[in-house]
Amino acid sequence: MQEILKNWNKMKGHLKREFPMLNNNDVTQRTGKDQEMLQNIMEKTGKTEAELHAFLQKVQEQ
């Protein structure tokens, strides 16, 4: 997951397109708050951690 977080600017654009219920505040990375941000994204999208990780992994490979 750390590799995904390093490329977060790319990831957040894809997340917002795939899940329109997410806003800028939901996907803004804050120092030391990555896990909270990911938890919030999972709650809003209804995705599990594994599903979210798979989606982000797929985006990273593009």
Asked if residue 42 has pLDDT above 90, the reply is: yes
Which tens digit of pLDDT belongs to each residue from 13-31? Answer: 999 999 999 999 999 988 8
Q: What is the pTM of this model?
A: 0.86
Q: 34 vs 4, 8, 31, 46, CA distance in Å?
A: 11, 10, 7, 18
Please count the structural domains in the chain.
Answer: 1
Residues ≥6 apart with Cβ < 8 Å to 46:
none
Which tens digit of pLDDT belongs to each residue from 47-62? Answer: 999 999 999 999 888 8
**Domain containing residue 42:** 2-61
Find the Cα–Cα–Cα–Cα dihedral 33, 35, 38, 39, rounded to 10°: -110
For 32, left (φ over 0), alpha (ψ -120 to 50), or beta?
left
